[in-house]
Amino acid sequence: MAIHVIRNLLKNSEAFHVARAADRPPEPGQWPLSPTQVDGLYAALYFLRRHGDDMLMAEQKA
C-alpha cells in the first residue's frame, strides 16, 4: 500500500508541473514537490520494493 501512496504523490507532483508548464491551473490535490522530496520518494520506493522482494524470497524458502 505504501508503494501506491508514494506513486500517487509523485504522479500528482508531475501533473502539477505539467499543468503549470501549460499555463493551466492545477487540479485539487496536485502540488509541487521539491527535487529533494522527489529523490527521497524514489529512494523509498526502491527500498520498499527491495524489502518486498526479500520477504517474498524468504517466504518461498520456507
Residue 45 has pLDDT above 90, yes or no: yes
**C-alpha distances out from residue 62 to 48, 51, 56, Å:** 21, 17, 10
| Residue 30 pLDDT class (50, 70, 90 cuts) | very high
Report the pLDDT averaged over residues 42-58. 89
pTM of the model: 0.79
At 6-24, the pLDDT tens digits run 999 999 999 999 999 999 9
- SS3 per residue for 1-62: CHHHHHHHHHHHHHHHHHHHHCCCCCCCCCCCCCHHHHHHHHHHHHHHHHHHHHHHHHHHHC
What backbone torsions phi and psi does residue 9 show, to the nearest 5 degrees?
-60, -45
pLDDT (0 to 100) of residue 56? 81
